[in-house]
Amino acid sequence: MGKCISFHSYKGGTGKTTIAANFSYLLASKGYTVYLLDLDFYAPSLYSYFNYEPKYWINDYLRNKAKLDEVMVNSNDILNHKLEGTLMLGFAKGGKEDIYQLEGSLLNDREQQVKQFRNFIAMREELLVTNDADFIIMDTSPGIRYWSINSIVISDVILLTLKMGDLDLQGTLKMIREIYGSLVEHGTICKLLLNRVSGYCVPPSNIKTEPGLMGATDSFFRMKIDKEIGKLFNKSIDVDTLLEIPCYCDIQFKEKEFLTSYEYPSHPFTGKIKNLVSTLENADY
């Protein structure tokens, strides 16, 4: 049976979509059947990594307006590279009306809400059982939003991304306490990904820096996280850090989003995400 993994974070812009897209691409390159779903209806961005606008969206499936195979797009039809495995993409539509249909209905149409959630669960089952998915990867909206919580609840593994230097540690801890904690106690695996840590960009030699400055903030931050999380859980439950990914200025300052692992297979970012692939494919969860 395949695994369902969601990427989530407290704050926006922590790297969820970038990591999810590259992770899915590299899993499919290794021969797996992967379904990458954009569930960030509030600010979808997966399409920008693939430069693609589909005919049908996940919204249509949830609202009974399209079948799953009409929604899913094979990346072979987009990328100029045949993969060893299969990467299928499901895109989200996030206009004002679309958000209202998927969330606004909460305010006054309970029946509609339940139907959409049932379709969501049916989608997971269809992908894992009928379509033999090895991995379902879900990209979510930051914070406590309706469809993010739905995604987290049906996931086997939650990867929680934090951007280094953010002041969001307290918010992340609050989410762990209020949401992840009870899921983890019932068997969901939750791991941290520290993204954009320092170390890749070295200041030019003509600029004097204080010795030990580079990386000092990161290790301090990491110690603080481990200590705070240690206080929340007993020893049998761990929400530890799975991976640290440096901040690569060449990725950050590019005008448009792009799929690094596809365009630059030897980039160190690709190497980092390959580590994530081997960690998760060898994990006993």
Ligand X SMILES: Nc1ncnc2c1ncn2[C@@H]1O[C@H](COP(=O)(O)OP(=O)(O)OP(=O)(O)O)[C@@H](O)[C@H]1O
- Starting at the earlier edge strand, list the strands of the sheet with 3-8: 73-74, 86-90, 33-38, 135-139, 3-8, 157-163, 189-197, 241-246
Q: Which two tokens stand for residue 111?
A: 């029946």
Q: Which stretch binds Mg ion (CB under 5 A): 14-22, 107-115, 144-152, 274-282?
A: 14-22
Give the residue, chosen from 9, 17, 33, 172, that forms a contact with Mg ion under the rule CB under 5 A. Answer: 17
Comparing CB distances to ligand X, the nearer of 110 and 254 is 254
Q: Are 158 and 190 in contact (CB under 8 A)?
A: yes
Contact pattern from residue 1 through residue 20 relative to ligand X, giving x for each residue in contact according to CB under 6 A and a dash for the rest: --------x--xxxxxxx--
Interaction between residue 54 and ligand X (CB under 6 A): no
**Residue numbers 45-104 binding Mg ion by CB under 5 A:** 45
- The DSSP code for 164 is T
Interaction between residue 24 and ligand X (CB under 6 A): no
DSSP symbols for 84-128: SSEEEEE----SHHHHIIIIIHHHH-HHHHHHHHHHHHHHHHIII
- Closest separation between CB of residue 229 and ligand X, Å? 20
Q: Are 7 and 20 in contact (CB under 8 A)?
A: yes
- Closest separation between CB of residue 82 and ligand X, Å? 26
Interaction between residue 251 and ligand X (CB under 6 A): yes
Comparing CB distances to Mg ion, the nearer of 33 and 59 is 59
